[in-house]
Amino acid sequence: MEDLAKKNQTTLGICGYITCAAVVHLSKHGFHQPITQHINQKVLTPLIQEAMTKILQRRRLEIKKFKILTDHERRNYLKDYVANYEIADYIENCIDELPNKQIYFFRQAAYDHPELVNQLKYE
């Protein structure tokens, strides 16, 4: 998956993109053991790529909207971890195409990575 992150010039910590891809896949195919046993990199890669494309596209619009000026700031913004609101926005934008619309995701990482809590931004 490192090659996918590098190709899209985003963070190597792609758990947010994987979450988006897994939600779409499970909504389309169900959450049954035969289905979940066959979820792998080959199955999720196109969905991860799509999530990266859409989220990074939105981030680029935010860069223009808020006039983030320096190259360093722009690169850092594009390489930030995917925020919970970005996952929610992505799912909301996909929901009309998904057969199962009862989607929930829970994400908690603060206690596992306390040093990252100090880096939280306004988003």
With a cut of 60, say whether residue 123 has pLDDT above it.
no
109, part of any domain: yes
Residue 28: its pLDDT value, please?
87
> Counting Cβ atoms within 10 Å, is residue 89 exposed (0-12), middle (13-18) or buried (19+)?
middle
123, part of any domain: no
25, part of any domain: yes
85, part of any domain: yes
With a cut of 60, say whether residue 122 has pLDDT above it.
no
More confidently predicted of 6 and 123:
6
52, part of any domain: yes
> Both tokens of residue 18?
């994987």
For the stretch 44-103, pLDDT in tens is 999 999 999 999 999 999 888 887 778 898 888 999 999 989 999 999 999 888 888 788
Instruction: Categorize the per-residue pLDDT at 14 as very low, low, confident or very high, splitting at 50, 70 and 90.
Output: very high
Instruction: Give residues with Cβ within 8 angstroms of 81, minimum separation 6.
Output: 11, 13, 15, 16, 116
Residue 91: its pLDDT value, please?
92
Residue 17: its pLDDT value, please?
95
Residue 111: its pLDDT value, please?
62
Q: What DSSP designation does 97 have? A: G
Domain housing 88:
2-117
Residue 65: its pLDDT value, please?
86
Residue 115: its pLDDT value, please?
75
122, part of any domain: no
| Whole-prediction pTM | 0.80
What rounded mean pLDDT belongs to the chain?
A: 85
Domain count, the chain: 1
